[in-house]
Structure 1
Amino acid sequence: MAKRKATTYDRIIGVDLGNGFVKIRSIYRNGEEYKLTLPSGYAYLRDVGDSKNDEVLELDTYKIDGNSYVWGKDITRLKDKVKPVFGYEGRYKTESYKLMAKIVMARIVRDLEIEAKEKILLVTGVPSIETDTECETDISNAFYAENSGFHDVEVNGEEHTFRIAHIHVTAQALATVIGRYLNVDGTVFDEDYESMKVAVIDIGAGTTDLDVVHDLRRQKVYHSLSEGFKDIYEAINSEIKRHYPSHTATDYDLLTIIEKVQKEMSKMPNEPTGKKTKKEEIRYEYKPSKKNEPVDFTDVFNNSVRELASNIQQAIVQKWKDQTDLDEILLVGGSAEIFEDYLGEIVFGITIPKNNGDSNVEGYYRMGVAISESDE
């Protein structure tokens, strides 16, 4: 009889602290799943009143290292007061990234009611170009902070002490495949992945990665394109500034509009109504305020998507000249569906996982559960 596994960590947490969003995966004490996605950025508490006066916002207050900050669902409504955590070389060493890591962990500890005595295993990841580099150490240092994983914070006036016992940093592409290989309890779900050769196209906010995972091992041959959905946001904002020069829309605002339109389009049949289909008649519009006229950014959005898709196509053709030995091709990232038709022209048999936008963080969590198990 196989030995029963003993858990070496009390809490397993998967965190994807990305350019645009923070994604978190874990479970509550009663075993129910915990998932959270919020904009990646924080603000100083002192700026909330200046920005929104007495309006009630869905924000939590965090006191860290003597300073007070806010973060939550409505953080982007503070507009230019938000301190975003954008991707650039050396970002994991910046004070803003380190602070965001502390805020994220404080939120998790509060939500999951993690006690000071509990040992936390945190699993996160990096894109292809940062795998097996000092970036992995930088991320670990950001979450461990100065006290070797011990933290004292306040959330909405309540004190929380927690300890990060270990941080495991993996490749994002490997995590995506592991998320399909393992069950949520860390046991094997589909053993075929142990011998499969899987290609992963991950369209992120700042980068697009082309990776291959063979026999559950990420291959050294990869390609990282320094373009992503953020380039599309920037193009849209250029169009908005053409109408309102001093105004900038947040990535979160634009994503909300895009997702709403995409959802509306998915419900419509692709039938012509004259020269256009019903889908083509739907417009993407951004309205700065109730008193201002909306900005139609449909053409800019479509052209930007085509441009990025073309660059990804070119990279695929150059890097994956022979696709006959690929058992599966996964297209992931929150914008995967938008690019499916374009990439399907040169890649046969693309699979978009149901959780494509959360595939990395789901993989982190399941990998963590597997890591936490050891022989008695």
Structure 2
Amino acid sequence: MTELISDRLPLEREHPFDPPAEVTAIRERAPISRLRFADGHVGWLVTGYHELREVFGSPKFSSRREKHHLLDPRFQGSDDPGTFVSQDPPDHTRLRKMLQGQFTVRRMNQLSDWIGEIVENQLRHLRSLGDRADLVKEFTLPIPSLVICALLGIDYDDRHRFQEDTERLASQDSTPEELVEALNRIRGFIHELVARKKADPGDDMLSDLLASGEPTDEEAANMALLLLLAGHETTANVLGLGVFALLQHPDQLQILKNEPEIVDNAVEELMRYLSVPHYGPLRTALEDVEIGGHLIKAGDTVLAHLPTANRDPRKFPGNPDELDLRRQGPHHHLAFGHGIHQCLGHQLARIEMRIGFTRLFQEFPDLRLDVRPEEVPLRTDMLLYGVHSLPVTWSS
């Protein structure tokens, strides 16, 4: 076992698409290692696929923030009513059930044509800019933002009221005061939205949730906040980083262009290969439990490392460090989590990526970087990895 010091868990990546080499080396030595947290607690770092899947699937671990030790105490949060990702059963079960019907595969597939229209509008906008643009600003961020705003009944013109503060919340450089101020501003915006939907319901997810009478106003507001933050940040980063990765792997991009029918497989492989969270989430043992031959004691906090787990050669044979859009076999990557806390919007994200990647390269077949690859600014300073911007050009 390897013991790490909290401020030495590396975030810098030697290659823009690979996990930090030091963490990969830790996984190769042992899929579970000891980890010292900021308060001195010695818990665990899980870098192996099978061990992490077992942690995610076990009811012996808690997701409640109040139980966790932290790598960075600035990001201490509370278990707010309605924030189901940091709740355990039965509260988690009750809250998630309220939204489950909105995210069924059938319902998401029904939204496919509508999402396609959003993508087409952004492609027309992109074309109107001439022959170059920042793809993050003009395509990969607007698409999931437009989708989640419409689903929640938020006027897209109000996006300035949450996007800048979302960036502050995700920045590893924000001070504790800046984090509190940003969160309070977003909460104020969401509470205004809840009041508006109660007074004048619309054809949207939040109005339906409030009309059901199941959640309290506070629960509904926090559920909406969670969906807003998760609903555009993660997908936007996979889209942006995914386009960068495809442009840097022209052989794989050509496969996608020549065989658009493999796009579902391509999305799963990009999710596995890129794994945008730097690390996390956290779990804390509620009782003694053995994982991978190690006794994790009650009260021990476990930190997941998704990027290395999704490159574990014990699960993904061949060369898991290569991008292979034709990779065979069941995918079962952990990019959306696993168990009762698997990402609620995973089907929505898949549809956005499937349409986004396919149509972008159909519309702009000669899309290419407008800067050298090493000049693309990477989000090593953020909680979610990706690219801050992606300057591209094409033939007009």
Same topology, TM > 0.5: no
RCO comparison, higher one (Cα < 8 Å, 6+):
2
Give the number of the structure whose residues are more often helix, by fraction: 2
What is the TM-score normalised by the length of structure 2? Answer: 0.28
Instruction: Tell which structure's C-alpha radius of gyration is larger.
Output: 1
Tell me which protein shows more strand as a share of its residues. 1
